[in-house]
Chains A and B, each alone.
Chain A
């Protein structure tokens, strides 16, 4: 069972960046996208996100399943909102909306406005997911602790994050051992249970020993940390992080984009929801 995060973008242009850059770019970009409601501009931002993603050299074949999940999840989210919005948007009441048709059974109206909103939402989510993927695949897992520390997270918590990543392989192996041990005793947790509650209860004999064993085994780590006087002074990190010129340029670009979007959003209405004229014409027929 391979549970550890996969460092698929190793050696790529993005992976050579300081890990803080990848984290900050996600923050800058998400707050940029959140201010834009014009689907044409969101499409441009999605293009930028795809370009950024492409520099991570993440093999497509390894992520086919992930992208399928993203499409299904985002699609479902947008669909639920489309149905619940009932043809209206935050700025356009149903009475003023251009209704196409009513959904069978539910009777929910679908209008040019709600369709435009759904399409924009879909593009926004896609842009945010696309920019988020490189954090998952282009940052070495052992760099997260130091990266968050240098971003201002308290030392003990940054170390906790580092420790979490270090525990992943051994705890995943313990989990697999528990699953195998239970199978040898004739207990297969993934089969044989009836009903939802039965299935959840059946996970107990696998989850409980894994958890209790892990907590009981933590004593060695705690002793080792105490013996090294953990938390009594300033901690040093083996890995040193330094921004190079390219890192600064990338940060400047995405930070500038956020600043520009914020200023434009305050000064004009160009970022507001765009409803294509052809949709309104189609609904008016």
Chain B
């Protein structure tokens, strides 16, 4: 499986490479969640590690992206002691972000197949779209926690996507710029 330049037929392929990249992405996301930058005046933090979710999706495909977000977030919760399954719908939302970013070849083909600069911009755009759409899944809190108000869930949705958009837009292009030459060097 080539990275970044996907064929439609290989987009959903699951082989040893997919599994290993997915496991590395999830483990890194879980580990790097220790680094957080608080937004002044709020209790929300920007998590630079979040950029790994759209990056792994964009670079290695929707399956890797979904696994990185889903399992990485659950592992982060597990490490912090919150429990692997307690916030399962938020883990799925993270997974959806990776999955949607991984579908970039279908909706951002011009950027994905362009030069390095285009691919880096494409990563940021795909990541941003994925964050906005993927986290809509957190509105399931309205069903799961039916005492939650639309306003309450919306407030959390917006604070989380603003924080995650900051991490995505800044770090995904940097990761693409760093990874592409290494990828070429590795012959992939």
Contacts and interface: CB of A to CB of B under 8 A. Distances in A.
A136 B26 CA distance: 17
B145 interface: yes
Contacts of A276: none
A265 interface: no
Contacts of A84: 149, 151-152, 155
Given A3-B31, A196-B40, A117 B152 contact: no
B86 A128 contact: yes
Interface residues of A, number: 78
Interface stretch (A99-107, A222-230, A244-252): A222-230
Nearest to A70: B82
Contacts, number: 200
A197 B151 CA distance: 28
Interface stretch (A180-188, A200-208, A255-263, A277-285): A200-208
Interface string A130-172: 0011111100000010000000000011011101111110011
A5 B182 contact: no
| Most chain A CB within a 10 A radius of its CB, from B31, B72, B156, B178 | B31
B83 A135 contact: yes
Contact of A203 (B27, B156, B171): B171
Tell me which of B17, B37, B49, B80 has the highest count of chain A C-beta atoms within 10 A of its own C-beta: B37
B21 interface: yes
Given A132-B83, A136-B84, A218-B24, A211 B52 contact: yes
A222 B83 contact: no
Contacts of A212: 175, 178-179, 182
Contacts of B148: 81, 121
Contact of B166 (A197, A207, A218): A197
Contacts of A159: 19
A230 B86 CA distance: 32
Nearest to A118: B147
Contact of A196 (B37, B49, B84): B37
A251 to B, nearest CB: 16
Interface in B37-78: 37, 39-40, 43, 46, 48-49, 51-52, 55, 67, 71-72, 75, 77-78
B133 interface: no
Interface string B10-36: 000011110111111011101110110
A275 interface: no
A202 to B, nearest CB: 9
B170 interface: yes
B9 interface: no
A157 B67 contact: yes
A117 B147 contact: yes
Contacts of B40: 196
B109 interface: no
Nearest to A139: B84
Contacts of A201: 170
Contacts of A94: none
Given A129-B83, A216-B182, A230 B170 contact: no
Contacts of A222: 16-17, 20
Given A196-B166, A197-B170, A203-B48, A121 B145 contact: yes
A252 B28 CA distance: 38
Interface of B: 14-17, 19-24, 26-28, 30-32, 34-35, 37, 39-40, 43, 46, 48-49, 51-52, 55, 67, 71-72, 75, 77-86, 144-149, 151-152, 155-156, 166-167, 170-171, 174-175, 178-179, 182, 186
